[in-house]
C-alpha cells in the first residue's frame, strides 16, 4: 500500500512580524499524509519540513475523557458474555467511527490473549526443559565422579601410549664417524 500525498494550500494570509518589516506567509504548503493521523508541511519552498499528529475528537472539547478500567476494556473481548449487548448497542448507535474503534480494540484484545497464551506455553516449556537439564547435569556429574574415582583418564592415556608404535627411522641419522 503506497502513501498518497496531495498538496493543499491552506492559507496565503500575510502576517507581519512585529520586529521585521518583511511580511511572511503563515502556512504555504501542507501535505496531509493519507495513512495515519499526521499532517506534514513547510513554511515555504526551501524551508524545513515539520509534522504533527492530528486527533479527531468525537465529544465537545469542554468534556474531559473518562479513563476506562481494565474490566471495562476487557468487556469488549469477542468471547465476553457482554459482546452481544455491545454489538446491539453499536447497531442502534449507527456511528461507523465508534464501531471501527471497538473493532480495533477487539482485535487488540484477541492479540493480547494470544500472546499471553504463548508466554504461558513458553513458561511451561522452560520449566520442563530446566528439569530435564537438571536431570542430565546430575547424571553427568555422577559419571564424571565415577570416572575420577577409577582414574579412567590415566588408564586410557597409559594404554594409548603402550599401544602406539614407536619406530625409529635409522636412515635419517647421520653417521658419527667419518
HEC secondary structure over the chain: CCCCECCECCCCCEECCCCCCCCEECCCEEEEECCCCEEEEECCCCCCEEEEECCCCCCCCCCCCCCCCHHHHHCCCCCCCCHHHHHHHHHHHCCHHHHHHHHHHHHHHHHHHHHHHHHHHHHHHHHHHHHHHHHHHHHHHHHHHHHHHCCHHHHHHHHHHHHCCCCCCCCCCCCCCC
> How does pLDDT run across 53-101, given as a tens digit for each residue?
655 555 566 666 788 888 889 999 999 888 899 999 999 988 888 899 9
Task: Give dist(CA 47, CA 28) in Å, integer.
Answer: 10
- 47/130: higher pLDDT: 130
Cell numbers given for 2: 503506497
Confidence of residue 24 (pLDDT cuts 50, 70, 90): very low
Give the pLDDT confidence score for residue 117 in this predicted structure.
95
Task: Give dist(CA 83, CA 95) in Å, integer.
Answer: 17
Cβ-proximal residues to 42 (8 Å cutoff; 6+ apart), any chain: 28, 29, 48, 49, 50
Confidence of residue 160 (pLDDT cuts 50, 70, 90): confident
Give the pLDDT confidence score for residue 176 in this predicted structure.
65
Output the pTM of the full model: 0.45
> How does pLDDT run across 25-40, given as a tens digit for each residue?
444 454 444 445 566 6
* Low-confidence winner among 18-22, 64-68, 119-123, 174-178 (lowest mean pLDDT): 18-22
Amino acid at each position: 500500500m503506497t502513501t498518497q500525498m496531495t498538496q493543499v494550500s491552506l492559507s496565503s494570509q500575510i502576517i507581519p512580524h512585529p520586529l521585521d518589516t518583511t511580511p511572511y506567509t503563515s502556512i504555504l504548503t501542507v501535505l496531509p499524509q493519507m495513512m495515519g493521523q499526521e499532517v506534514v508541511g513547510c513554511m515555504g519552498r526551501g524551508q524545513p519540513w515539520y509534522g504533527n499528529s492530528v486527533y479527531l475528537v468525537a465529544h465537545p472539547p469542554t468534556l474531559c475523557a473518562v479513563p476506562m478500567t481494565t474490566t471495562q476494556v476487557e468487556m469488549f473481548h469477542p468471547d465476553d458474555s457482554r459482546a452481544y449487548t455491545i454489538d446491539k448497542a453499536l447497531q442502534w448507535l449507527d456511528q461507523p467511527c465508534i464501531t471501527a474503534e471497538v473493532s480495533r480494540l477487539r482485535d487488540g484484545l484477541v492479540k493480547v490473549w494470544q500472546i499471553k497464551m504463548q508466554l504461558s506455553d513458553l513458561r511451561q516449556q522452560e520449566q520442563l526443559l530446566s528439569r530435564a537439564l537438571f536431570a542430565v547435569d546430575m547424571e553427568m556429574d555422577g559419571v564424571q565422579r565415577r570416572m575420577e574415582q577409577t582414574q579412567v583418564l590415566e588408564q586410557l592415556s597409559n594404554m594409548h601410549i603402550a599401544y602406539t608404535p614407536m619406530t625409529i627411522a635409522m636412515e635419517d641419522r647421520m653417521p658419527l664417524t667419518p
